[in-house]
Amino acid sequence: MIQEKDLAEKLSEIQERYINFMLDSLKDWRQWADASQRMADGKPVSKDEVPEFFHTEYEWAKIVLDMEDQGGFNWQDPRIAKLFAAAAQTPFYKLWGETITEVSRVLAQQINAKTLIEIGAGRGNLTRDMLVKLSRNNMSVPLVATDANETILENIAELQDDFPEQSLRTCLWDVNRPPEDLLKNQIKNPAVLYERASITYATYGSLENMAQVADVIVLGDYFNYTGELFAYDTMFDKIGVKPLLYKDVEPLLLKHFPNQILFDQQVHESVGVPNISLIIAWKR
């Protein structure tokens, strides 16, 4: 059983580092909100007018608007792969991933987890980071990495060679669908599940599916806490990235994972940014 006070103490240093970075990076977020509106209105906006933290979003917005002028968004455009690669190297994206995996590792230790589950393994950055953290802390918890793309999982499986002391398994899972027996049979409870930017491309119902296999979840997504939307939300909606409204997420969390910590709520309270980027929730 997780005691929130004890957990808060164990996560305090990780949380402080994350919040301090976010406070410094997001203090001028309204400049980006205003700039995105001008871009949507067809007005020229230079990169220098946008806070550095949002430069990747600025480049995304430029591409989305350019493609709209050409007839619609095209995922095959070579600029997309280049942008994804650039985004993965930003200080925030790295810290976000490191924070998600470290929080999940601490939780696994706290509840004596028998399984770790990763949703949307993608390029394997979080998978590798988790394996590194487990090894450094002399922990060995079986890690099940899932993704909806079989080719991705074939690449992820190769990480096992780099961490022979760890147990890495892979399983095909579209989190929009309930977990099949093939996945369930690989999981022993209690289990900690973590993800980054996966629900963004899924449905809220995915939380119902996660609840079938996990006792604790660590969600790394942009959850809109206030319901206030800006031009950048509208632009990203054109590529299928719909705002995740916390008011829609909260009932599902309370139904399945009634205990929760909004990890970076202090950032919202301090600078008014509408998003929460990391949520911890557990069943008991």
Fold of 4-26+90-282: Rossmann fold (3.40.50)
Dist CA 283 CA 257 (whole Å): 4
- State the pLDDT at residue 174: 94
- State the pLDDT at residue 148: 94
- 11 within 8 A of 216, measured Cβ to Cβ: no
Dist CA 237 CA 246 (whole Å): 17
- For 169, 212, 213, 245, 279, the CA distances from 115, given in Å and listed in that order, are 11, 14, 10, 29, 19
- 211 within 8 A of 179, measured Cβ to Cβ: no
**At 165, which helix (H) or strand (E)?**
none
Dist CA 1 CA 6 (whole Å): 11
Dist CA 242 CA 264 (whole Å): 21
Locate the domains of the chain by residue range. Answer: 4-26+90-282
pLDDT along the chain (284 residues), means of 10: 89 98 97 96 96 94 85 79 86 97 98 97 94 97 96 94 96 96 97 92 87 98 94 80 88 95 97 97 93
Q: What residue type is assigned to position 167 of the chain?
A: S
- State the pLDDT at residue 237: 75
Q: Which of 58, 69, 282, 82 is nearest to 192 (CA)?
A: 282
Q: Would you call 145 exposed, middle or buried from its count of C-beta atoms within 10 A (0-12, 13-18, 19+)?
A: buried
**At 19, which helix (H) or strand (E)?**
helix 4-26
- State the pLDDT at residue 85: 84
- State the pLDDT at residue 175: 94
- 147 within 8 A of 173, measured Cβ to Cβ: yes
Dist CA 95 CA 24 (whole Å): 14
Q: What's 75's DSSP letter?
A: T
Provide the CB-side half-sphere exposure for 231 (13 A, CA): 22
Chain position carrying tokens 């990495």: 145
